[in-house]
Structure 1
Amino acid sequence: MGQVTAREVMEMFDLTLISGEEGIGRHIPVSDISRPGLEMAGYFTHYPANRVQLLGKTELSFFALLDVEERRARMMKLCTADTPAVIVSHSMEVPVELMQASNETHVPVLQTSMPTTRFSSKLTNFLESKLAPTTAVHGVLVDVYGVGVLLMGKSGVGKSETALELVKKGHRLVADDAVEIRQEAENTLVGHPPKLIEHLLEIRGVGIIDIMTLFGASAVRTFKRISLVIDLEIWDPEKTYDRLGLEEETVQIIDTHLTKLTIPVRPGRNLAVIIEVAAMNYRLKKMGINAAEEFSNRLNDVIAQDNR
C-alpha cells in the first residue's frame, strides 16, 4: 500500500498552510474524509481521528455560536496525535482556537478556496489512488484497441518483441519488463511503468530502445486499466490447448480476478495478430457476443436434429 503525507496534499491542491507547520509531514493512513459536524456539537465518542478533517460553512457557522471555552475544548479534542490534517474550505477564516490547538498538537491546518463538496470529491479520489493496494509483476502491458493487455510468461519467450510489433501496428506501450499495479477500486486494476524505465523497451540483440522517441507520443501511455492477461508459453506438444474458448480461465492479482488466455509460442505464429484478435474478441464478449457459445449451440442443434 502506498503512502501520502499532508505536505503532498498541500502541494497537489495548492493549499495554504495556516498553522501546525511542524506536522506537515504527517502520514494520511486512510482515504476516508471526515466532516466533523457532530464533533463541533461536542460528540467525540466515535470520532475518526485518523482521517483528514474537512471543515466547511456548516461546521464553522455552528462553531461560531459556541462560547470561548467550548470552542477551545472542541478544537483541542479535534486535533489529536492521530489527526493527519485539518482543512478549511471556501477560503473561510480559520478560528483562532483551531490555530492555537494545531500549534500545540502539531496538526497542520490548511486552507482551500474550493467548495467543500468539490474539494472532498477531489481529495478522496487522490487519496484512493495513492493509498490503493499495490503490487509489481514481471510482464509487458500494452493498450490494444482500448483493452489493457498484460503479457506474461517466462523470460525470453518473446513478450517485448510482441509488444514492439503491436506498437508498430499502432497500439500503445504502457510498461515493459516490470508493471506496477494498483487496485484503485473494486475489480479495477491500473498498471503503471516504473519511472526508471518509462517508455523504454528491451529487445535482446538490439538493447534498450525509447518507444516515444522512435514512434512518437501516441505510441505510449503512462497508465492503463488491465482487463486481459495473456500468458505466453513455449509450445508443449504433450499439452492440450483450448481450441474452442468455451472455458474461461482467470488469474487473481491482488483482490481482482482477470480473464486469462494461454497462447503457445512456436516459430511461424504471428503473436501480434493473435493478441489483436484476442483483445477484439474480449470486447465482443463484454458486449454479449460469444462466438464459441454460438458455435456450441449450433453444434448441439445439429446433433439434436440428427437424433430425431
Structure 2
Amino acid sequence: MKTITVQKLKDTFQLEVLAGASHMDREVTRPRTHRPGLEFVGYFDFFPMNRVQVLGRKEINYLLTLTVEERKLHIGNVVKYHPPCFIVTSGQQEIPYLILFCEQEGIPLLRTAETTTEFIAKLDSYLIKALAPEISIHGVCVNVSGIGILLRGKSGIGKSETAHTLIRRGHRFVADDIVVLKKLGPATLLGTHNETTREFLALRSVGLINVVRQYGRRAFQDETRIVLDIELAPWQENSLNNELEVEPQFTEYLGVKIPHIEVQLQPGRDVAGLIEAAANNWYLKQLGYSAVDEFMKRIEDEMQS
C-alpha cells in the first residue's frame, strides 16, 4: 500500500504546524479528506478515521457554541480515533482547545490560510494521484491533439523516434523509456514520467535530448490520461487487410481496459501520421461519429436512387 507522511503534506501545501510537530512522520493512506461535522455531534457509524480531517468554519463555529465541558467531550471523542492529522482552513485562530488535545494525543494539527472548498479540492486531487496504484512499463507516452497515447514495442523498434516526429508536428511529449501508469478510477489511467527521466528523450544515433530545451515548454506536459495503447511491430507480409473497420482490441493495465492498435513498420510508412489518424478517429468515435456508417449510408442511398 502506498503512503505519504504528514510532513510531505506540510511541505507540499506550505502548512503551518500548530501541534504534534514531533509526530509529522504519521502516514496518510486514504486518498480523500473528511470533514468531521457529524462526528462532533456524536455520530460515528461511518467515520473514516484513516483520512485527513479538515476543519472549516462550520466545524470550528459549531465547537465555539459549546460549553467548555461539551467541547472537551466532543473533541475528545474524535481525537481518540487518532486520524493522521487535522488541518484547519481559512487561517482560523480561535482553536487553543484543539491545539491542547492534539498535543496531548500526539496528532499533528496544521493550518492553512486557504478557504475550505479550495483547499479540499487541491488536497483531494493531490492525494488521489499520490496514493493511486501504479506500475512502470517500458514504452513512450505522448499527447496527440489532447489524446493520451502509450507507445509500446520491442527495444529499437522506433518508439522514441516516432515520438520525436510527433513533437516536431506540434504534439506533446510526456515520458520516454519508463512510463508510470497510475489508476485514478475504475476507467481512468494516467500516464506520467518517473521524475528522473522528466523531459528527456533518448534517440538512437543522436543521444539524449532535453525536449523542453530544444522545442520549448509547450512540447512537454507532466501527465496525460491514457486512452489509446499503440504497439509498433515489425512488418508482416499479407497480415494487414484493407478492411473498412478494424475489430476492436484492448490491453488491460491495473484493471483498466484501453483500446489497442497495432501499427506495423515498413520503410516509407508515415507512422507518426498513422498515430495522428488513430487519435483523431478515436476522438470522433467518442462524439458518436463512424466513418464506416457514413460510407455504408452513402452506398445505400446510391443504390436506392
Please give the alpha-carbon distance, in whole angstroms, between the structure 1 residues aligned to 2:44 and 2:81: 15
The alpha carbon displacement at 1:179 in A equals: 0.8
User: For residue 172 of structure 1, what is the aligned residue in structure 2?
Assistant: 172
Change (3 A) 1:76 1:142: same
User: For residue 77 of structure 2, what is the aligned residue in structure 1?
Assistant: 77
1:171-209 CA-to-partner distances (Å, cap 9, x unmatched) read 221111111122234422221112111121222222222
1:202-243 CA-to-partner distances (Å, cap 9, x unmatched) read 222222222222222222222222221111111222635573
Please give the alpha-carbon distance, in whole angstroms, between the structure 1 residues aligned to 2:101 and 2:271: 64
1:3-61 CA-to-partner distances (Å, cap 9, x unmatched) read 32222222232221111112222111112322222222233344321111122222222
Q: Is the 8 A contact 1:80 1:107 kept in 2?
A: no
User: For residue 31 of structure 2, what is the aligned residue in structure 1?
Assistant: 31
The alpha carbon displacement at 1:294 in A equals: 2.6
Please give the alpha-carbon distance, in whole angstroms, between the structure 2 residues aligned to 1:38 and 1:221: 41
Structure 2 counterpart of 1:116, one-letter code? T
Please give the alpha-carbon distance, in whole angstroms, between the structure 2 residues aligned to 1:256 and 1:293: 28
Structure 2 counterpart of 1:138, one-letter code? H
User: For residue 133 of structure 2, what is the aligned residue in structure 1?
Assistant: 133
Structure 1 counterpart of 2:176, one-letter code? D
Please give the alpha-carbon distance, in whole angstroms, between the structure 1 residues aligned to 2:159 and 2:63: 61
**Aligned positions of 1:153-232 closer than 5 A:** 153-232=153-232
The alpha carbon displacement at 1:2 in A equals: 4.2
Structure 1 counterpart of 2:265, one-letter code? V
Change (3 A) 1:155 1:107: same
Structure 2 counterpart of 1:223, one-letter code? E
The DSSP-based 3-state class of the residue aligned with 1:25 is coil
Structure 1 counterpart of 2:187, one-letter code? N
Change (3 A) 1:40 1:81: closer
User: For residue 15 of structure 2, what is the aligned residue in structure 1?
Assistant: 15
Change (3 A) 1:2 1:299: farther
The alpha carbon displacement at 1:299 in A equals: 5.2
Structure 2 counterpart of 1:19, one-letter code? A
User: For residue 117 of structure 1, what is the aligned residue in structure 2?
Assistant: 117
- 1:64 equivalent to 2:52? Answer no
Change (3 A) 1:282 1:55: same
The DSSP-based 3-state class of the residue aligned with 1:251 is strand
Please give the alpha-carbon distance, in whole angstroms, between the structure 1 residues aligned to 2:91 and 2:99: 15
Q: Which runs of 5+ in 1 are unaligned?
A: none
User: For residue 249 of structure 2, what is the aligned residue in structure 1?
Assistant: 249
The alpha carbon displacement at 1:135 in A equals: 1.7
The alpha carbon displacement at 1:274 in A equals: 1.5
Q: Is the 8 A contact 1:88 1:94 kept in 2?
A: no
Please give the alpha-carbon distance, in whole angstroms, between the structure 2 residues aligned to 1:276 and 1:43: 54
User: For residue 146 of structure 1, what is the aligned residue in structure 2?
Assistant: 146
Change (3 A) 1:29 1:242: farther
Please give the alpha-carbon distance, in whole angstroms, between the structure 2 residues aligned to 1:62 and 1:230: 55
Q: Which range moved further: 17-26 or 215-224?
A: 215-224
The DSSP-based 3-state class of the residue aligned with 2:191 is strand
Structure 2 counterpart of 1:25, one-letter code? D
- 1:4 equivalent to 2:4? Answer yes
Please give the alpha-carbon distance, in whole angstroms, between the structure 1 residues aligned to 2:141 and 2:179: 7
Aligned residues: 305
TM-score between both structures, scaled by the size of structure 2: 0.89
Please give the alpha-carbon distance, in whole angstroms, between the structure 2 residues aligned to 1:59 and 1:268: 66
Q: Is the 8 A contact 1:231 1:263 kept in 2?
A: yes
Change (3 A) 1:277 1:44: closer
Please give the alpha-carbon distance, in whole angstroms, between the structure 1 residues aligned to 2:58 and 2:221: 42
